[in-house]
Each structure stands twice: as structure tokens, then as C-alpha cells.
Amino acid sequence: MADAKRFEGYGVLVTGAARGIGAAVARRLAEEGARVLLTDADRAEVERTASELREQGMAAEASICDVADRAAVEAAVAFAVDAFGSLDVLVNSAASCTSDTPLFEDGTDEAWARDLDITLTGTYRCCRAALPHLARSGRGAVVTIGSVNGRLDFGNQAYSAAKAGLGSLTRTLAGHAAARGVRVNLVEPGTVRTSAWEGREDELEALRPLYPLGRVGEPEDIAAAVAFLASRDAAWVTGTVLTVDGGLTAVHAGFKATARPRAAL
């Protein structure tokens, strides 16, 4: 548990908070004193996660929210403001990732649209609904969960295109929101051990040597980065991408292991 109470008195909304990164973010901010509204399209799971936090003495509420539904997003924001008296931080973690078809041309419009609608447009909907309240708080911050998929080809074309779009949205919204006292930043994770990898531990182990720091990420690694960007410790940081990927995109570990480059004679 974090020792600092950087978010004492803060009202926070986290989307995609039923499990994985979103749940870890909600826990980290609640540990640091925030009152957190966990939202997700999975009612049972998000209520279970919020209940666990409350049982451990943290201030947590749960709300069903499909970020593809504008009315549901606006209702979740209103719920947070009513419950906490203010909304100070929005964390966009909800996403959709559809497996690629063997041939690109076999992909469907429906799958493409779903990944973009939830991952990119859903974030837009949440920011649009939350921004007036974040501006009124005097310490408003938006932190969105991107992905290294938005920069390099790791597959999942629609998801990757949506995550790349989040980088652009972060920059343009940061430019608009700065004058209103709201900071907007993006965390860009590499591979993170979440429920999406259950039953695929052998694949995670195969990926480990590709990471210079020797392991894949844990949800708590991403939560720590979000907590920094959402806090006043990052008061002069906006419009930036914080890559949290164990060195994956900085060092081509596979190439180095194969080529074994030698010093020039």
C-alpha cells in the first residue's frame, strides 16, 4: 500500500475498473485517499471489486457504464459528482481488443467499429462529460491508458489504431484544457499480466526475454504511473506520453540476442 495520501479529498472516476489495470488504478488511488467510482460494463465484477476495496477501509463506489453509450457515460459522471461533491480525476481504462483475422481483408466493419468506439470514442465521450467538472475542481487531471501497440506493430489492427488515436486525442485535449486548469496525459504500457492472459502463462514466459528489465508488467506498475500523472507531483506535466514497458520499445532485445554485435575494429 502506498504511504502517501496525495489524493485525500479527491473524487475519481475510473472506467474499465472491474479487473486488470483499471482495478489496480482504482485501488492505488483509493489507498492514497481518493474516493473512487469504479465503472465497467460488467456489473457483477465491478461491484465485487468495489466491495473488496470498501471491506479494506477504502472509499469506493461502483456503477455500470458502457462507454459506448453517451447517456451511460454522462450518468456515471453525474453519479461521481453527486457522491463525492466534485470530480478531480478521470482515468480512461476501458478498451476493446478484437483478435485479427488471418488475412487483413477478412476483417469486418463491425469488429473494427467496436474497437474504435469503445477504446477511442469511449474515451472521447468520458472526457467530454467530465471536463466541465474537472475544470471546476481546480486540480483536474485526465489520465488515459494507451498501449505500445499505438506506436509499433504488435498485431490487433483495430485496437492498435484506436490506441494510436488516443495519443493524438491526449495532445489536442491537453492544449484545449490547459487554459481551464486541467492536465491530460497518457500512460503507454507494454505487456501486462491481466486476466486476458489467463491460461497463457507459457506465452508470457516466452515474452519475458524480450523485455530488458527481465519481466512483463503487472497492473500495479501501470497504476503507479497513473498515480504520478494524476497527482500534483506532475503539476507541470500535460500532453505527454509516459511509456511504461520495461524497456521493450527502447531496446530491441531480440535483435541484440540474435546479432550479438561486436565492437568495430
- Please state, in angstroms and as integers, the Cα–Cα distance from residue 135 to each residue in 151, 154, 240, following that order: 30, 36, 19
Mark whether 256 is an active-site residue: no
Measured in Å, how far apart are the chain's first and last C-alpha atoms?
A: 52
- Mention every residue, 6+ apart, whose C-beta is less than 8 A from residue 39: 13, 14, 15, 16, 17, 46, 62, 63, 64, 65, 76, 94
Catalytic residue among 5, 10, 124, 159: 159
Q: Is 87 helix (H, G, I), strand (E, B) or coil?
A: coil
Q: Does 163 participate in catalysis according to the annotation?
A: yes
Q: Of 5, 124, 163, 256, which is the active-site residue?
A: 163
In whole angstroms, how far apart are CA 60 and each of 148, 225, 226? 30, 20, 18
Tell me the backbone φ, ψ of residue 200, rounded to 5 degrees: -125, 30
Beta bridge partners of 105: none
Chain-centre distance for alpha carbon 251: 23
86 CA to centre of own chain: 21
Question: Which residues carry out catalysis?
Answer: 159, 163
